[in-house]
Amino acid sequence: MSLQDIPTRYKENVRQVFFVDDICGKYTANHNIIENWRSIRNRVKSILDKGMTKILATCRTEVFKEEIFQHAFDLFHKNAYNLSDHYSVKDKLVIASKYLEHNDQMLPKITDIINKNKFSPLMCFLFSRHNQFDINEFLSSPYNTFCTVWNNLKSVDTEKFCVLLLCVIYNGTIHDVILDISNELEKDEKKKLKDIFEWCKLNRGTSRSALQAKMNVCIDTYFIKVDREYKVIHDKMFDFLCSYSLLITHSYSQICR
């Protein structure tokens, strides 16, 4: 949901929690969001002052530090929690134990691993979705680990490589109507897919339904499905994909056409 939804969804004398992801934009402070927020700020403040309503919001560190954000979103300064802060060994173990398979005998090994590598709850989560990786290699260099896999995909699983390319070209979200063979695509869209298939060296007979089946295989590792949309499992995974040269080089050529 967005901040704009809070005044309309607020209910008097009912305990409510509103969750807002990327409260002021994903990569940089969004001026439209800020202007909209200023128009409802006093109303939201009056709602919060009644003590029955909470807002849980996320914001990337680089956006949070922007001066325009600091000025506009002063209501959120008092209870800000920096998830990039250093964790105690105890905190690391609690978080790692949630995602990493282990038993009591393995705890010393896990402790050693998380102390040797840069710790990130997100990386523990991603590892839990790709636990065929070596945990030491992954936690010390997750991007390089994924790159090694993707380099191999281009020759051993071209369909999976293709769906990863598609998710970059479609900005992290693919509606299943694009892959539905019963749906007739527009001429430009059809040509785009044809070019992508050729670049990925897919067989001429490869159907959109085959790619949709591959998308379904990738759910919980690379994607989640919300209603009829396939979304990249996490923003960080999308960042990794967008940094991978073989994917992004071709994506730019597609986007710029």
Give the residue ranges of DSSP H helices in 78-232.
89-99, 107-116, 121-129, 135-140, 142-156, 158-169, 187-199, 208-217
**What SS3 state is found at 97?**
helix
Question: Which helix (H) or strand (E) element contains residue 77?
Answer: none
Map out the domains of the chain as residue ranges: 5-76, 89-139, 145-255
Q: What angle do CA 161, 244, 225 make, to 5 degrees?
A: 55
First-to-last alpha carbon distance for the chain, in angstroms, is 33
202's tokens? 């897919």
Single pTM value for the model: 0.68
Classify strands 173-175 and 229-232 as parallel, antiparallel or unpaired.
antiparallel
Full pLDDT tens readout for the chain, 257 residues: 789 999 999 999 999 999 999 999 887 899 999 999 999 999 999 999 999 999 999 988 888 989 999 999 988 888 888 776 677 778 888 888 788 776 566 667 777 777 766 677 888 888 888 888 888 788 888 899 999 999 998 889 999 999 998 888 888 999 988 888 777 888 888 888 888 888 888 876 778 888 999 999 999 999 999 989 999 998 889 989 988 866 666 555 544 44
Report residue 152 CA to chain centroid gap: 23
Q: What is the C-alpha R_g of the chain?
A: 22
Side chain identity at residue 135, one-letter code: I
Measured CA distances, 110 to 105, 106, 181, 194, 257 (Å): 10, 6, 47, 47, 48
CA-nearest of 162, 181, 151 to 222 is: 162
